Amino acid sequence: MKTKKQMLAILLVIAMAFSVYGCASNGDTDQPSQQPGNDLPDKTEAPEQTEEPSGEGGEMSESLEKIMQSGKIVWGTNAAFAPFEMRKGDDVIGVDAEIAAKIAEKLGVELEVVDMKFDGLPNALTSKQIDFIAAGYTIRPDREEQMLFSDTYFKAVQTIIVQEGNTEIKTAADLEGKTIGVQSGTTGDFTAEEYTADENIIRFNNAMEAAIDLSNGRLDAVIVDDLPAQMIVAENPGLVLLEEKAAEDEEYALGVRKDAEDLLEVINEVLAELKASGQINEWVEEYSFLN
């Protein structure tokens, strides 16, 4: 068996060869590919950095090996969740896009984004269509059965949006039996189940679509994470937030495949640096006031 150093050296050569090829062929693919921020990964830093993601046995996980060999890491998200991810033309921008770019930079690989349905993210991860999830994604025990979560990087809470002047729904308890719009498969969806029967929950592809039906009077309320809720209300006159929250606080983290402990180590290092410098909060501010 080869030593760890030899393995890394070989993988690096392969990764570099592939990244040259990857750049040349980028324009041929339909997949949206991007580098948020201006920093292209500096390949000269790669040798030092690839030493970090080593498993205990000295071998890379299959997940990390695939990333290094292909010279790219594939980020899965649902880009309708401002300020964490939203579309700007063909690009996906936002707090998670910035974090994803830093992870790619740390690994010395390209970042590719796949913008998909939110409830398809876990399957896309286990079927290796994507390498990690960053989607304002809340840690939950059922999700932990499917993936490994990174350290947390943001606290959120489920928030109730109603039409201005609604006299029937003033507190969370008033949601009982009401028609509630949510994004399918989200913690807002699971929270709604605690207040109303399943047949009264209308599931949308994203919370903005739910907000349109709330404005039209087809829904009594929408439940969604607090920052997206604030942005929805700011953009939709006639909608307001209830002061009382719908659930306990929750926390966002990134998800990787269960074998990818070494990738997780790198992700946690990136998050630790970004949290220590206050950069994540700066991005939250920056992307909350885009429009």
Footprint of ligand GLN (CB under 6 A) = 78, 81, 118, 135-138, 156, 183, 186-187, 225
Q: Crossing angle, helix 4-25 and helix 62-70, to 10 degrees? A: 50
Nearest to ligand GLN of 73, 223 (CB atom): 223
CB of 118 to ligand GLN, least distance (A): 5
Q: CA–CA separation, 104 vs 224, rounded Å?
A: 29
Residues forming beta bridges with residue 204, ordered by sequence position: 183
Nearest to ligand GLN of 128, 140 (CB atom): 140
Nearest to ligand GLN of 81, 111 (CB atom): 81
Sequence-ordered alpha helix ranges (H) in the chain: 4-25, 46-49, 62-70, 95-107, 121-126, 141-144, 187-192, 207-215, 226-235, 261-276, 279-288
Q: CA–CA separation, 275 vs 282, rounded Å?
A: 10
Q: Are strands 255-256 and 148-149 parallel, antiparallel or unpaired?
A: antiparallel
Nearest to ligand GLN of 226, 269 (CB atom): 226
What is the CB neighbour count within 10 angstroms for residue 16?
Answer: 15
CB of 94 to ligand GLN, least distance (A): 10
Nearest to ligand GLN of 64, 229 (CB atom): 229
Q: CA–CA separation, 180 vs 160, rounded Å?
A: 9
CB of 104 to ligand GLN, least distance (A): 20
| Preceding omega of 36 cis (within 30 degrees of 0) | no
Tokens linked to 72: 């790219």
CB of 173 to ligand GLN, least distance (A): 22
CB of 256 to ligand GLN, least distance (A): 15
CB of 144 to ligand GLN, least distance (A): 12
Nearest to ligand GLN of 81, 153 (CB atom): 81
